[in-house]
């Protein structure tokens, strides 16, 4: 494959950025879920 | 504190909109059966896109294997625009309906927009380097995308300052409402401007893609769209929880004040607050 | 609404007239920017001459940040906002009045900068009609946009740093258009510049409408 480096870095970075964001999102979700009682979770 | 009772509805513990209201369940995540299904679909789509994008599709005649960067870059740009559109639409809806959910959605859209615009810029730069020898070129797309990034940063900065969700003034939603018009006007102006200097050779980052390459691009779109949807769902729920948590804090602070103020005044109980 | 606008414009300008900050500080600042460009770009007059249009408008925009900041600050003092709300003045009128006051100051600034550019960068004003039209429409655009954004950040402690961050990207098309129009005029082919001037006018109309509509909601908020 030509330009292997560029392809690898691009795809790799994208996975890292999106995956990292997803993980922080899930972590925030868990932390907040502990603080907020279930009733408040429904649509108001 | 409510006890965690076994939830009969399925493998996951449910929460948020699709929750069945199981009285004792104290879910600890923003997940739900629906979001898990979406997540699995998204992962499958990503696997498919990776397979096609990196292996099954051929290299381009002109660009060689660099075309594989397009499979990430182009869908990311679209995802970014989608995020901005959501922000603007949700801002408008908040101004109309004044329910907090719209404001939460507007914030979620902008944050995702920022994530994907960064990816768009980075992948675009990395494509440009071997192609033109430079990381940055002032072509219309890159330039207006960069400005879009600044617009999003500004919007998110204002959101962070304007913190009280219930007394939310119109500032943030109006700025959000202006987001898409700004994006539109900026990108048209920049395109017009750069078209005055267009070189004859291909300067666009969006060359013609067809055949097998198109399949790879489509799988890229599918993957990014599903990932975006999953992220949006969870970002919305996180935002909603943040809003609720802030209100709870506020309620508790007010009650603390009240009980300080009057000896015989109403006793605040946890149930009363939560039941509101 | 126009009467209210005239009232508010008059108030803002009178305050400005008494404090004379625009004359004594913003004007010199604008000229200073021109001088700084000369330091940065090596007055082998070639570069400065070629870039005159752009440098002029960058100087205008930077000075506008100061002008807009002061315009927003006028209403931040204790009780002024409530006073405006309760005064019965039409919010759209208040917006237009403030924008007009800003526009007036910017136009005066542009006259000063024009003189600066002619003297310091050896510019030759050709295509005067286009130059004037561009100044009018670009100024209207900057004033309208800036007044709206000023209201968006008014009262926040970080207003001074947030306003440029928010408004300059929005004003990018104005910079692009005004510079292209000026380049056409100064370069002797005004025909190419008029479409840009049209863009500026359209931009000004859009933000004037947006501001007039939004100002009421913004006054209501905290």
Q: What is the pLDDT of residues C26-57, one digit of tens each?
A: 999 999 999 999 888 877 767 888 889 999 99
Beta-carbon count within 10 A of B250 CB: 14
Q: What is the pLDDT of residue B236?
A: 93
Q: What is the pLDDT of residue B21?
A: 34
Give per-residue pLDDT as tens, C68-84: 999 998 888 777 888 88
B contact set with C (CB within 8 A):
95, 147, 150-151, 153-155, 157-158, 161-162, 164, 167-171, 174-175, 178, 181-182, 185-186, 188-190, 192-193, 196
Q: At what angle do helices C190-220 and B171-195 cross, to 10 degrees?
A: 170
Tokens of A36: 């907020």
- Residue found by looking up tokens 């004040």 in the block: B257
- Indicate the SS3 state at residue B57: coil
Residue B153 located in a structural domain: yes
CA distances from B123 to A21, B142, B208 (A): 17, 11, 18
Tokens of C213: 């509509």
Closest partner CB to B169 (pick from C203, C206, C221): C221
Q: Which residues of B168-189 are buried (b: 16+ CB within 10 A; e: fewer)?
A: bbbbbbbbbbbbbebbebbbeb
Size of interface B-C (CB pairs under 8 A): 72
The listed range with the strongest mean pLDDT (C6-10, C17-21, C204-208) is C204-208
Closest partner CB to C172 (pick from B147, B155, B162): B147
On whether the CB atoms of residues C97 and C8 are closer than 8 A, the answer is yes
CA distances from B160 to B118, B165, C34, C98 (A): 20, 11, 36, 27
Q: How far apart are CA C180 and CA C94, in angstroms?
A: 32
C221 phi and psi angles, rounded to 5 deg = -65, 175
Beta-carbon count within 10 A of C9 CB: 21
Q: What is the pLDDT of residue B258?
A: 87
On whether the CB atoms of residues B91 and B177 are closer than 8 A, the answer is yes
Using CA atoms of B141, B209, A12, B155 in order, give the dihedral in degrees to the nearest 10.
30
Residues from chain B that touch A44, judged by Cβ atoms under 8 A, are: 99-101
Range of the domain at B74: 38-196+205-262
| pLDDT < 70 regions, chain A | 39-44
On whether the CB atoms of residues B125 and B90 are closer than 8 A, the answer is no
Give per-residue pLDDT as tens, B214-256: 888 899 999 999 999 999 999 999 998 888 888 888 788 888 8
On whether the CB atoms of residues C150 and C69 are closer than 8 A, the answer is yes
Q: How far apart are CA C74 and CA B140, in angstroms?
A: 39
Average pLDDT over residues C177-197: 88
Q: How far apart are CA C159 and CA B139, in angstroms?
A: 32
B67 to chain A: nearest residue by CA? Answer: A7
Tell whether C191 is within 8 A of chain B (Cβ): no
Q: What is the pLDDT of residue B11?
A: 37
Residue B191 located in a structural domain: yes
- Indicate the SS3 state at residue B55: helix
Touching chains, A (3+ CB pairs < 8 A): B
Beta-carbon count within 10 A of C188 CB: 9
Average pLDDT over residues C175-179: 94
Residues from chain B that touch A11, judged by Cβ atoms under 8 A, are: 50, 53-54, 68, 72
Q: What is the pLDDT of residue B140?
A: 83
* Angular region, B64: left φ>0, alpha ψ -120 to 50, beta rest: left
Q: At residue B94, does pLDDT exceed 70?
A: yes
Residue B13 located in a structural domain: no
Q: What is the pLDDT of residue A40?
A: 66
Q: What is the pLDDT of residue B202?
A: 40
Q: At residue B14, does pLDDT exceed 50?
A: no
Q: How far is A23 from chain B (nearest CA, A)?
A: 10
Q: How far apart are CA C133 and CA C56, in angstroms?
A: 15
Residue B15 located in a structural domain: no
Cβ-in-10-Å burial (0-12, 13-18, 19+) of A24 comes to exposed
Which positions ≥6 away from B152 have C-beta within 8 Å? B84, B110, B113, B114, B117, B179
Per DSSP, B53 falls in state: I
Instruction: Let me know how long chain C is.
Output: 222
Closest partner CB to C176 (pick from B162, B171, B193): B193
* Consecutive H or E run containing C184: helix C159-186
Q: Are chains C and B in contact at 3+ CB pairs closer than 8 Å?
A: yes
Q: What is the mean pLDDT of chain C?
A: 89
Q: What is the pLDDT of residue B228?
A: 96
Structural domains counted in chain B: 1
Q: How far apart are CA C105 and CA C99, in angstroms?
A: 10
For residue B143, the domain's CATH number is: 1.20.120
Residues above pLDDT 70, as percent of chain B: 78
Q: What is the pLDDT of residue A42?
A: 57
Domain coordinates in residue numbering, chain C: 2-220
* Angular region, C156: left φ>0, alpha ψ -120 to 50, beta rest: beta
Q: Are chains A and B in contact at 3+ CB pairs closer than 8 Å?
A: yes
Residue B68 located in a structural domain: yes
Q: What is the pLDDT of residue C106?
A: 95
Give per-residue pLDDT as tens, B153-208: 999 999 988 666 556 678 899 999 999 999 999 989 998 888 876 543 344 555 56
Closest CA to B115 of B83, B141, B144: B83
Cross-strand partners of B64: B60
CA angle, C75 then C78 then C84, to 5°: 50
Q: How far is B100 from chain C (nearest CA, A)?
A: 16
Residue B140 located in a structural domain: yes
- Indicate the SS3 state at residue B198: coil
Q: How far apart are CA C141 and CA C199, in angstroms?
A: 10
The listed range with the strongest mean pLDDT (B123-127, C12-16, C89-93, C137-141) is C137-141
Residues B28, A6: C-beta atoms closer than 8 Å: no
Residue B74 located in a structural domain: yes
Tokens of C124: 């030759």
Q: How far is C172 from chain B (nearest CA, A)?
A: 7
Average pLDDT over residues C90-116: 92
pLDDT band at C200 (very low <50, low <70, confident <90, very high): very high
Residue B58 located in a structural domain: yes
Q: How far apart are CA C192 and CA C185, in angstroms?
A: 8
Q: If you compute the radius of gyration of chain B from its CA atoms, what whole number of angstroms results? A: 23
Residues above pLDDT 90, as percent of chain C: 51
- Residue found by looking up tokens 């003045």 in the block: C89
B48-52, B91-95, B154-158: least confident range: B48-52
Q: What is the pLDDT of residue C45?
A: 64
């Amino acid at each position: 494959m030509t330009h292997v480096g560029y392809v690898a870095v691009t795809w790799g970075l994208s996975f890292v950025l999106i995956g990292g964001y997803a993980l922080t999102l899930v972590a925030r979700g868990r932390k907040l879920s502990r603080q907020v009682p279930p009733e408040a979770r429904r649509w108001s | 504190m409510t006890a965690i009772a076994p939830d009969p509805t399925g493998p996951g513990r449910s929460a948020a909109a699709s929750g069945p209201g199981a009285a004792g369940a104290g879910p600890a995540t923003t997940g739900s059966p629906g979001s898990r299904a979406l997540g699995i679909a998204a992962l499958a789509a990503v696997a498919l896109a990776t397979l096609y994008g990196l292996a099954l599709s051929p290299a381009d005649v002109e660009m060689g294997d660099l075309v594989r960067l397009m499979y990430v870059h182009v869908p990311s740009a679209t995802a970014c625009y989608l995020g901005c559109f959501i922000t603007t639409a949700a801002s408008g809806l908040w101004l109309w309906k004044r329910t907090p959910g719209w404001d939460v959605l507007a914030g979620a859209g902008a944050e995702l927009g920022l994530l994907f615009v960064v990816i768009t810029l980075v992948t675009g730069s990395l494509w440009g380097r071997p192609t033109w020898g430079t990381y940055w070129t002032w072509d219309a797309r890159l330039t207006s995308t960069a400005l879009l990034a600044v617009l999003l940063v500004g919007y998110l900065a204002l959101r962070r300052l304007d913190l009280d969700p219930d007394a939310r003034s119109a500032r943030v939603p109006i700025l959000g409402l202006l987001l898409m018009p700004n994006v539109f006007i900026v990108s048209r102006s920049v395109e017009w401007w750069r078209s005055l200097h267009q070189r004859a050779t291909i300067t666009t980052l969006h060359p013609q893609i067809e055949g097998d390459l198109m399949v790879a691009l489509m799988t890229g779109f599918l993957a990014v769209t599903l990932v975006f949807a999953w992220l949006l769902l969870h970002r919305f729920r996180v935002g909603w929880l943040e809003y609720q948590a802030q209100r709870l804090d506020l309620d508790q602070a007010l009650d603390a004040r009240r009980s300080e103020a009057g000896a015989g005044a109403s006793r605040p109980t946890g149930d009363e607050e939560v039941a509101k | 609404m126009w009467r209210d606008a005239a009232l508010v414009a008059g108030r803002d300008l009178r305050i400005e007239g008494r404090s004379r900050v625009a004359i004594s500080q913003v004007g010199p600042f604008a000229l200073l920017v021109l001088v700084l460009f000369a330091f940065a770009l090596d007055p082998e007059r070639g570069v400065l001459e070629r870039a005159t249009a752009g440098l002029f408008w960058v100087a205008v925009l930077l000075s506008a940040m100061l002008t807009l900041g002061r315009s927003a600050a006028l209403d931040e003092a204790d009780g002024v906002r409530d006073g405006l709300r309760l005064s019965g003045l039409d919010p759209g009128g208040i917006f237009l009045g403030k924008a007009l006051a800003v526009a007036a100051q910017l136009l005066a600034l542009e006259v000063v900068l024009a003189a600066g550019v002619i003297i310091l960068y050896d510019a030759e004003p050709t295509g005067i009609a286009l130059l004037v039209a561009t100044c009018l429409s670009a100024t209207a655009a900057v004033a309208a946009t800036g007044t709206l954004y000023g209201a968006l950040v008014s009262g926040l402690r970080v207003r001074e740093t947030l306003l440029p961050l928010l408004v300059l990207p929005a004003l990018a098309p104005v910079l692009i258009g005004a510079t292209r129009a000026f380049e056409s005029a100064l370069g002797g082919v005004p025909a190419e510049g008029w479409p840009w001037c049209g863009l500026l006018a359209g931009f000004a109309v859009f933000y004037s409408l947006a501001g007039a509509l939004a100002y009421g909601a913004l006054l209501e908020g905290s």
